[in-house]
Amino acid sequence: MPSHAESYGLFIGGKWIEPPQSRRFETVNPANRETVGSLVQGTTSDVDQAVTAAQQAFRGWKETPAPKRGEILLDVARLMKRSKEDLGRIVTREMGKVIGEALGEVQESIDFIEYMAGEGRRLFGETVPSELRSKFCLTVRQPKGVVVCISPWNFPTSIPNWKIAAALITGNTVVFKPASGTARCGAEVVKLYEAGGIPPGVLNLVTGSGSVVGNALIEDPRVRTVSFTGGVDTGRDVYVRGARGLKMVHLELGGKNPVILMDDADLPLALDGVLFGAFGTAGQRCTATSRLIVHDRVYDEFLGMLTDRLAQFPVGDPLDPRIAMGPVASADQEKKILEYIEIGKRDSRLRLGGHKLTGGSYDRGYFLEPTIFETKHGSRISKEEIFGPVLSVIRVPDYAEAVRVANDVEYGLSSAIYTRDVNRAFRAIDDLEAGITYINAPTIGAEVQLPFGGVKNTGNGGREAGSAAIEEFTEIKSVFVDFSSKLQRAQIDSETAA
Ligand code: UN1
């Protein structure tokens, strides 16, 4: 797996192909603007071929026993372990997150693929009693068919794997479209599945724009399920397009994740958590801590601790293991975050940071200062997703107000509370409107064996990862086996059956 700029075709029907007259696009390292990958700008005809290949491969893959499908996934995981360092470096070079986090992300991919391989020997259904004698009732899980996976740039290997491994173990075939900005990572993931022995057509890759490739995939009538992670506006559009075809559309969208810091919290512990939650991945996680809701009694002390530590927060080359925060992922990201910083300056108090970093090697990339605003609940920066290293700090008088503020946003992905009061911690599990709640830990860092997703505008009610991943990609069939050798009519004969 070389680390210089590399060129990829599309992967359709088990072959890497270069469509005639195809145009290409390049991905760029946000730390220094070097070219990282060259990929095909897919067209609607490429989409058509990929869906055809996936459809043709479906029956064979569905009929492959699930434990055998799991063995292939285990081989993919084994290969990924072997190339973890190389893949991690590509993640860092293409996306900009620091190398430790990139390796963590690749590990998350490996963990999930292994977890799903094990599912090949479970895929549990239910057995349920019948109201009639000599009758047996059960459910079985069946694949949906051709599944489309559209993934974002912020977790360019693990989010694709959350989708692909779950879709494959359950017997679906896949067409995968990675975010264009990190499409090389997507292609590298597909290469590992190819090397692990995935049969032709079972996993296909079409790179290119959302407006051409993404929309054509979502609208193809042969596709029954779309799994999408990305921004809320795009997600809404994906949902509407899918709805026209009555498709199952799985959405993982934004967040405005709060950490509540109570007056009895372990402040040094919370400090480490808030720094990691807010500035890890330069704040570009759906789960990033973007609001810190602090009890009045510890507000000044904690803000002092936070700004002291951030004054020595190393921002720079993300391949250097001493660096805590790399660049933001692209010029577009930088522009949007700087716009939010300007919005914040109008109605909030800029406490730290707020600038683009310049001089020396900073000039080659998209480096921003970690930024802290003191704001009031209701300001735009306190409510809108910024997706960058910008933390809004809000002072509250008590727990009740902290929860009110935490919940009064359109999203509900992750949430956290720091407190030593066990009753309050359990109360918060009940009170916080979010798909994920952490007690005495930051809002980021979900583990793969638990469901992942959120409430309100974070999605449309589904979850991925954990046991929920199986729900996402299967249809449930209810089966009634009558071994009485006579007609037994449910609801009518149940009283008299013998
Ligand atoms: C995301 O930000 O879209 O919980 C996914 C976490 C990671 C996954 C984040 N395991 O922060």
271 within some domain: yes
> 1 falls in which pLDDT band (50, 70, 90)?
very low
Q: Give the atom of ligand 1 at the shortest distance from the alpha carbon of 229.
A: 3
493 within some domain: no
Can you give the pLDDT at residue 378? Answer: 97
Residues 172 and 320 in one domain: no
* Strand locations in 29-73 (E): 35-41
Q: 266-299: per-residue pLDDT in tens?
A: 999 999 999 999 999 999 999 999 999 999 999 9
Q: What is the pTM of this model?
A: 0.97
Q: 431-456: per-residue pLDDT in tens?
A: 999 999 999 999 999 999 999 999 99
Is the predicted pLDDT of residue 129 greater than 90, yes or no? yes
Closest CA to 224 of 17, 392, 399, 62: 62
Q: Is the CB of 436 under 6 A from ligand 1?
A: no
Average pLDDT over residues 46-70: 98
Residues 220 and 116 in one domain: yes
Q: 235-274: per-residue pLDDT in tens?
A: 999 999 999 999 999 999 999 999 999 999 999 999 999 9
Closest CA to 178 of 147, 145, 155, 146: 155
Q: Give the atom of ligand 1 at the shortest distance from the alpha carbon of 284.
A: 2
Can you give the pLDDT at residue 11? Answer: 98
Q: Residue 311 sits in which domain range?
A: 257-439
Residues 299 and 178 in one domain: no
Residues 185 and 285 in one domain: no
Residues 264 and 246 in one domain: no
Average pLDDT over residues 356-379: 98
Can you give the pLDDT at residue 167? Answer: 98
Average pLDDT over residues 48-66: 98
The C-alpha atoms of residue 44 and residue 215 are separated, in whole angstroms, by 9
Residue 453 Cα to ligand 1 middle (Å):
10
Residues 83 and 199 in one domain: yes
Known active-site residue 286: yes
116 within some domain: yes
Which of 101, 119, 252, 374 is catalytic? The answer is: 252
Is the predicted pLDDT of residue 395 greater than 90, yes or no? yes
Residues 76 and 171 in one domain: yes
What's the token pair of residue 67? 């434990």
385 within some domain: yes
> Going edge to edge, which strands form the sheet with 135-143?
127-128, 135-143, 474-482
Residues 358 and 472 in one domain: no
Q: 75-113: per-residue pLDDT in tens?
A: 999 999 999 999 999 999 999 999 999 999 999 999 999
Average pLDDT over residues 309-319: 96
Is the predicted pLDDT of residue 182 greater than 70, yes or no? yes
Residues 322 and 186 in one domain: no
CB-based contacts of 386, cutoff 8 Å, min separation 6: 283, 290, 336, 337, 340
Known active-site residue 119: no
Q: Is the CB of 231 under 6 A from ligand 1?
A: no
| CATH number of residue 131's parent domain | 3.40.605.10
Q: 113-127: per-residue pLDDT in tens?
A: 999 999 999 999 999
Residue 256 Cα to ligand 1 middle (Å):
13
74 within some domain: yes
Q: Is the CB of 161 under 6 A from ligand 1?
A: no
Can you give the pLDDT at residue 495? Answer: 57
Average pLDDT over residues 181-208: 98
Residues 268 and 246 in one domain: no
Is the predicted pLDDT of residue 60 greater than 80, yes or no? yes
The C-alpha atoms of residue 123 and residue 171 are separated, in whole angstroms, by 11
Residues 304 and 368 in one domain: yes
Closest CA to 98 of 320, 258, 414: 320
Closest CA to 459 of 387, 406, 409, 411: 411
What is the C-alpha radius of gyration for the chain, rounded to an integer number of angstroms? 24
Q: Is the CB of 97 under 6 A from ligand 1?
A: no
Residue 200 Cα to ligand 1 middle (Å):
31
Can you give the pLDDT at residue 5? Answer: 76
Can you give the pLDDT at residue 494? Answer: 66
Can you give the pLDDT at residue 2? Answer: 47
Percent of the chain surpassing pLDDT 90: 97
| CATH number of residue 426's parent domain | 3.40.309.10
Q: Give the atom of ligand 1 at the shortest distance from the alpha carbon of 448.
A: 10
Q: What is the domain count for the chain? A: 2
Residues 411 and 362 in one domain: yes
Can you give the pLDDT at residue 52? Answer: 98
454 within some domain: no
- Backbone φ and ψ for 375, nearest 5 degrees, come out as -140, 175
> 497 falls in which pLDDT band (50, 70, 90)?
very low
The C-alpha atoms of residue 70 and residue 64 are separated, in whole angstroms, by 10
First to last CA, the chain: 68
